[in-house]
């Protein structure tokens, strides 16, 4: 059990740090309050001290101090974890917000980003050099959490997940060592951080593979009335069956404040010219949307399109749900009906949304699931319930509703012909959309769970890093 940091330990910590690393406690008032603020109000915790370093060496000192003294440790990149995993009650929080530099190596097309960078930093720096990489679809999200948990994005159909595009990293381990990680250096650590990285250290630097992106893309929301939902799902299934990796879509159920009833929004993407995009999207467009906001734009603007439904504040909970590759229209209708009922009966849930991600899966599934820790490859589609409310008395009831939807989707997968308890290697819920307490009888890292437990014993045997999908160390003879 890790402990809060004491006032004496805060003083001791200050004495070993470089003056460039600033420490903040409750006594610092507004500055401290800003540092412990999170995307979700319910994820805010009162840290004993928040440290804001600017160098990798200082991160090493902070991690080692927490490890040596049994202090509870949290690391904040973007601060979007709704389960509070980037926060600590009384412990030490390392805030990476002053470590957001991004550099581009045009010869190798490598994008080198510090661990505190946001996706907007990466997207903007890369596009200046005519490059892009797979990134978050909400660009004020930190790169660390998404990358370490796998990472889906608009370019996933072409280039795989975010973790598939990590070339190298620099990781601060629990004992304070700063290690390089790549296929050539500390390859087992590199294997582990690509999917389960929250459990192995603080990644203070990522190197991503960039890809040529000289052209603008076609993207935006296409809005339908609820009666078109089944036809929309059929159209999306057809688009995904076309084998064109340039196209993608995120189907969203929402209650826009200006709409008289819940609507179906298909946020679309096509990495090509408008004529090619409209041909690809023809199955959707011919259904008669009530609004079409899609247009040509530079790629670096695309990941800001969903920011409006992901604003900071209010209480939030993210729940991972999974659909079969060929989404069943009747089942999606069932989910929509449940969404309409819950948000209609409880107006405090009006900002809640439900999303289903449609990316061409060929590239993602061409990579063997054992090749890295990421365990969400297979004939499935990731989805998410984004709960949002204000009444703190409803925390558990609202989360329980999200878990009910999660369980419904899980059972649908288990009952499908694509699933076999003997041969299925994948985890059924996408780890980046999980909160503590969400898993229902499944390992969060599927077939890779045991190897990760062995590596946990090697790199973090005392479980300093335990807040996100924690792994219990497994000691073997080889250790």
User: What's the total number of domains in the chain?
Assistant: 3
Which distant-in-sequence residues (6+ apart) come within 8 Å of 417 by Cβ? Answer: none
Residue 99 has pLDDT above 90, yes or no: yes
Residue 430 has pLDDT above 60, yes or no: yes
Question: Which residue, 212, 238, 267, sits at the end of a domain?
Answer: 212
Q: What is the 3-state secondary structure (H, E, C) of 333-354?
A: HHHHHHHHHHHHHCHHHCCCEE
Does residue 150 fall inside a structural domain? yes
Does residue 153 fall inside a structural domain? yes
The answer on 74 and 185 residing in a single domain is no
Helical residues (DSSP H) of 216-323, grouped into ranges? 229-240, 274-280, 282-285, 299-302
Read off the pLDDT of each residue in 387-402 and give the average, rounded to a whole number: 97
Answer whether 231's CB lies under 8 Å from 327's CB.
no
Whole-angstrom CA distances from 8 to 26, 65, 67 are 15, 13, 16
Burial of 433 (0-12, 13-18, 19+ CB in 10 A): buried
pLDDT of residue 90: 98
The answer on 223 and 336 residing in a single domain is yes
Lowest-confidence region among 3-17, 26-40, 424-438: 424-438
Q: pLDDT tens, 180-230?
A: 999 999 999 999 999 999 999 999 999 999 999 999 999 999 999 999 999
The answer on 271 and 192 residing in a single domain is no
Return the higher-pLDDT residue of 417 and 136: 136
Answer whether 361's CB lies under 8 Å from 379's CB.
yes
Q: pLDDT tens, 337-376?
A: 999 999 999 999 999 999 999 999 999 999 999 999 999 9
CA distance 62 to 45: 19
Q: pLDDT tens, 247-267?
A: 999 999 999 988 889 999 999
The answer on 233 and 282 residing in a single domain is yes
The answer on 49 and 14 residing in a single domain is yes
pLDDT of residue 381: 95
Q: Tell me the CATH number at 117.
A: 3.30.465.10
The answer on 127 and 42 residing in a single domain is no
Instruction: Band the pLDDT of 444: cuts 50, 70, 90.
Output: confident
Helix (H) or strand (E) holding 113: strand 110-114
Residue 145 has pLDDT above 80, yes or no: yes
Q: What is the mean pLDDT of the chain?
A: 96
Helices 395-415 + 329-345 axis angle, to 10: 170
The answer on 139 and 154 residing in a single domain is yes
Q: What's the pTM? A: 0.96
For residues 322, 325, 328, 334, the Cα torsion angle rounded to the nearest 10 degrees is: 10
Does residue 470 fall inside a structural domain? no
Which distant-in-sequence residues (6+ apart) come within 8 Å of 420 by Cβ? Answer: none
| Percent with pLDDT over 70 in the chain | 99
What residue numbers bound the domain in which 160 lies? Answer: 102-212
Q: pLDDT tens, 49-78?
A: 999 999 999 999 999 999 999 999 999 999
């Amino acid at each position: 059990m890790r402990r809060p940091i004491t006032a004496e330990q805060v003083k001791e910590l200050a004495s070993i740090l470089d003056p460039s690393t600033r420490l903040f406690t409750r006594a610092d008032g507004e500055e401290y309050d800003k540092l412990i603020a999170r995307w979700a109000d319910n994820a805010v915790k009162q840290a004993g001290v928040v440290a804001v370093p600017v160098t990798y060496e200082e991160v090493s000192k902070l991690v080692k101090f927490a490890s040596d003294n049994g202090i509870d440790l949290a690391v904040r990149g973007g601060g979007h974890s709704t389960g509070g995993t980037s926060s600590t009650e009384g412990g030490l929080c390392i805030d990476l917000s002053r470590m957001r530099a991004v550099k581009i190596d045009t010869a190798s097309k490598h994008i080198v980003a510090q661990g505190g960078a946001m996706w907007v930093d990466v997207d903007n720096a890369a596009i200046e050099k005519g490059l892009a990489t797979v990134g978050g679809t909400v660009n004020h999200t930190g790169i660390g959490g998404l990358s370490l948990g796998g990472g889906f994005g608009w370019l996933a159909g072409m280039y795989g997940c975010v973790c598939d595009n990590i070339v190298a990293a620099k990781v601060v381990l629990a004992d304070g060592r700063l290690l390089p990680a790549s296929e050539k250096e500390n390859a087992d650590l590199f294997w582990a951080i690509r999917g389960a990285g929250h459990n192995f250290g603080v990644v203070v630097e990522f190197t991503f593979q960039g890809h040529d992106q000289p052209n603008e893309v076609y993207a935006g929301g296409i809005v339908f009335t609820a009666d078109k939902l089944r036809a929309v799902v059929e159209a999306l299934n057809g688009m995904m069956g076309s084998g064109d990796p340039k196209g993608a879509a995120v189907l969203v159920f929402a209650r826009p404040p200006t709409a008289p009833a819940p609507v179906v929004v298909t946020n679309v993407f096509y990495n090509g010219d408008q004529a090619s995009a409209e041909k690809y999207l023809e199955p959707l467009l011919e259904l008669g949307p009530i609004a079409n906001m899609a247009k040509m734009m530079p790629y670096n603007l695309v990941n800001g399109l969903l920011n409006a439904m992901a604003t900071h504040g209010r209480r939030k909970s993210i729940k991972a749900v999974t659909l079969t590759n060929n989404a069943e229209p009747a089942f999606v209708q069932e989910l929509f009906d449940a969404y309409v009922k819950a948000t209609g009966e409880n107006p405090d849930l009006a900002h809640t949304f439900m999303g289903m991600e449609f990316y061409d899966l060929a590239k993602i599934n061409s990579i063997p699931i054992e090749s890295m820790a990421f365990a969400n490859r297979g004939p499935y589609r990731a989805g998410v319930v984004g709960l949002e409310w204000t009444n703190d008395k409803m925390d558990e009831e609202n989360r329980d509703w999200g878990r009910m939807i999660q369980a419904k989707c899980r059972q649908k997968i288990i009952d499908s012909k694509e699933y076999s308890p003997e041969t299925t290697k994948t985890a059924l819920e996408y780890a980046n959309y999980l909160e503590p307490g969400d898993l229902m009888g499944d390992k969060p890292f599927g077939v890779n769970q045991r190897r990760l437990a062995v590596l946990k014993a090697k790199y973090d045997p005392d479980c300093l890093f335990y807040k996100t999908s924690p792994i219990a160390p497994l000691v073997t003879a080889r250790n």
